[in-house]
Amino acid sequence: MNQRIKLPIKFIAVLFTVVIFIMIALGYQVLSSHQDLESIQSRTFRLQHHSEQLTYLNEVLTMSARMAAETSDLYWERRYFKHVELLDDILRETALLSGEIYQEWADQTALANAKRVQIETQVFSLISEGKAPEAQVLLNNEDYEIYKQNYAAAMRALQHDLETKIASDINKHERSVYIAGIQIIISIPFLILIWIRIVSLLKQYRQVTEDSQQKLLEEYDYSRMLFDTSPIGLALTDMQGKLVDSNPAYHNIIGYTQDEIEKLSYWDITPKEFEEQEKQQLEALQKTQRYGPYEKEYLHKSGARIPVLLNGLIIKKNNIPFIWSTIEDISIRKEAEKALIEAKNRAEIANKEKSRFLANMSHELRTPMHAILSFSKLANKRINDEKTSRFLDNIEASGQRLTGLLNALLDLSKIEAGKIELVYSKQNLFQITQQCISHISSLLQEKKLSINLDSDEEITAYFDPDLMSQVIINLLSNAIKYSPEGDSITIKLTSIEALPDTNFNGIVECVISDNGIGIPADELESVFENFTQSTTTDTKAGGTGLGLPICREIINMHYGAIWLESPVHEHEYGTGAHFIIPKIHSENITDNADKNNMS
């Protein structure tokens, strides 16, 4: 039920209830007034009847007394006293029916009646003594007539007051019944309107309920469709491991039908060696309401073992906890991983064979190459012919380039074969850099280049000095190769100290920048691949495409990082080669005293 329907129904239901209670109260009032009216009418009828009886009995008593005086017959005496008792009974009942009104006239009525009965009793006494004449004289006495008249007058006054009181009560109750009836009549239209509104809202509620039920049914059908068609196995088990529900994908994984699964427990398809791991997953489930991801094996109906990946959580259905699990068959992935591992092993073996081959070939080629270079230098010294000397210079230059390529191939093959072992020692990177600059000073002089070294004189770190010198010389050689003649190269060395109470032991950074043509942004990473050079490289500049890959391998062996930036100037030219290495690497440092003395 939506909120717009829910609130009016509540309000109207309350209003309808109030009206119903009011009508019940009014109906009770009408019923009570009607019953009172009937009671008054019944009492009126009885009082009228008693009034008639009293009048009749008064005449009967007077007549009985006179007849007894005239005839001296005891029959009239017996009749008299019989009716006296009846008169007393009627007077008592009249007193009960008339209430306060009778009390107002009780003294006067009782006195008159008592005097009259006293005279009539004397009459009967005289008659029994044989004095009938005296009895007649007593009945004809004026006092006797006065008492009779007083009694009759009191009874008429009582009857009049009773009739007035009864008429007033009847009018009052009739008016109450009339007012209650009017109120009921007025309430009925409102009640009808409220009832019509409630019926209308109930129809809307019924429509909303039917729509909600239809929507819930559609959502259930949709959810069930997703459940049944899911390519991932889905299973619902109770907390004891009994399978409650599962989808076809799960049936395919374990090879059982739904009817067969309903007779199985989770432990029937779990190999015994996974019991300890299952216990750990159940403990995690109790603590976090979830478990997994978790790899294990299922026992297929055929007896085969199926590797699966499980994830699950606790859900509640009718306030009862269940374990909801997703089961993914990872057989293909496991086979692919196995094939990948085998291919990786084959590739590593092939790569080692390749490296071994390159190393052997490099050694084999370097021996005759040294002979060629030596003989070309010796011949160049002995020959004075300029043309022949130029040929020998070309042979020597080409031999030098080929020797550089062979050396690079040999270094790369050693690195890839894992035959290079780093010899860590505490070194001053500033001094190592100066040595490298001296080593290539002839190249700087050829292009009339200068070096700007921006550094403190104490930049210390633990590294292999020979390999680090090779990195700096390679990067300087590239900078010299691409720098314009007569330009300058900038080398900046920076030390970032360790932070106390952290795992950061500090780093050193080296940046070698030139003012050459630069490298396109999309090639800054690819130039670190073997035998790859930038498209902006002049073929006359030489190079093998192995220098930067060797630098990256050496820096990686030092647990550092190396990258290029281009351009490095506002005019969109130049290249900056950056590398960083940690000042201390704990796996390769055994002397704690040396570590404490690091700058």
* 287-339 pLDDT, tens digit each: 888 988 888 899 898 888 999 999 989 888 888 999 989 999 988 888 898 89
C-alpha torsion 288→289→295→298, nearest 10 = 150
Q: Is 181 exposed, middle or buried (0-12, 13-18, 19+ CB in 10 A)?
A: middle
Question: For residues 320 and 593, what is the distance between their CA atoms, to the nearest angstrom?
Answer: 64
| Centroid of chain to Cα 103 | 83
Spatial CA neighbour of 247 closest among 271, 223, 272: 223
Spatial CA neighbour of 322 closest among 417, 255, 241: 241
Residue 2 φ/ψ, nearest 5 degrees? -85, 170
Q: Where do we find the tokens 């008639």? A: 52
DSSP string, 489-520: EEEEEEEEPPPTTSS---EEEEEEEE-SS---
Q: Which stretches does DSSP call E strand in 39-102?
A: none
Asked if pLDDT for residue 3 goes beyond 60, the answer is no
Q: Using alpha carbons only, what angle is made at residue 122 by residues 116 and 127, rounded to the nearest 5 degrees?
A: 130
Question: For residues 311 and 309, what is the distance between their CA atoms, to the nearest angstrom?
Answer: 7
Q: Which residue has the higher pLDDT, 7 or 369?
A: 369
Does 293 sit behind a cis peptide bond, omega within 30 degrees of 0 on the bond before it? yes
pLDDT at position 543 is 61
Asked if pLDDT for residue 445 goes beyond 70, the answer is yes
Q: Which residue(s) pair with 575 in the sheet?
A: 514
The structure tokens listed for 1 are 């039920």
- 98, 51 contact by CB (below 8 A): no
Q: Which residue has the higher pLDDT, 216 or 499?
A: 216
The structure tokens listed for 112 are 């008159």
pLDDT in tens, 129-184: 777 788 777 777 777 777 777 777 777 776 777 677 777 777 776 777 777 778 77
Greatest mean pLDDT among 505-509, 538-542, 578-582: 578-582
Greatest mean pLDDT among 8-17, 27-36, 285-294: 285-294
Q: Using alpha carbons only, what angle is made at residue 545 by residues 443 and 352, rounded to the nearest 5 degrees?
A: 125
Q: What is the mean pLDDT of residues 343-360?
A: 75
Question: Computed from CA positions of residues 76, 78, 82, 88, in that sequence, does the dihedral angle turn out positive or negative?
Answer: positive
- 422, 558 contact by CB (below 8 A): yes
Q: Which residue(s) pair with 452 in the sheet?
A: 490
Asked if pLDDT for residue 545 goes beyond 50, the answer is yes
Model confidence at 569, in pLDDT bands (50, 70, 90)? Answer: low
pLDDT at position 6 is 53
Asked if pLDDT for residue 263 goes beyond 70, the answer is yes
Length of the chain: 599
59: CB partners within 8 A, 6+ apart: none
- 35, 177 contact by CB (below 8 A): no
Amino acid at residue number 278:
E
What's the pTM value of the predicted model, to 2 decimals?
A: 0.42
pLDDT in tens, 89-125: 777 777 776 665 555 555 666 666 777 777 777 777 8
264: three-class secondary structure by DSSP? coil
Residue 40 φ/ψ, nearest 5 degrees? -65, -45
The region of weakest confidence among 342-346, 401-405, 459-463 is: 401-405
Rg value, the chain, Cα:
64
CA distances from 405 to 181, 301, 376, 478, 502 (A): 121, 62, 19, 15, 44
Spatial CA neighbour of 292 closest among 305, 277, 306: 277
Spatial CA neighbour of 463 closest among 321, 346, 580: 580
Asked if pLDDT for residue 282 goes beyond 60, the answer is yes
120: three-class secondary structure by DSSP? helix
Question: For residues 546 and 531, what is the distance between their CA atoms, to the nearest angstrom?
Answer: 5
pLDDT at position 510 is 94
pLDDT in tens, 71-92: 777 788 788 778 777 877 777 7
Model confidence at 1, in pLDDT bands (50, 70, 90)? Answer: very low
Asked if pLDDT for residue 554 goes beyond 80, the answer is yes
Strand order in the sheet with 488-496: 450-454, 488-496, 507-514, 575-582, 561-565
Strand order in the sheet with 305-317: 243-246, 233-238, 320-329, 305-317, 290-299
Q: Is 593 exposed, middle or buried (0-12, 13-18, 19+ CB in 10 A)?
A: exposed
Q: What is the mean pLDDT of residues 461-490?
A: 90
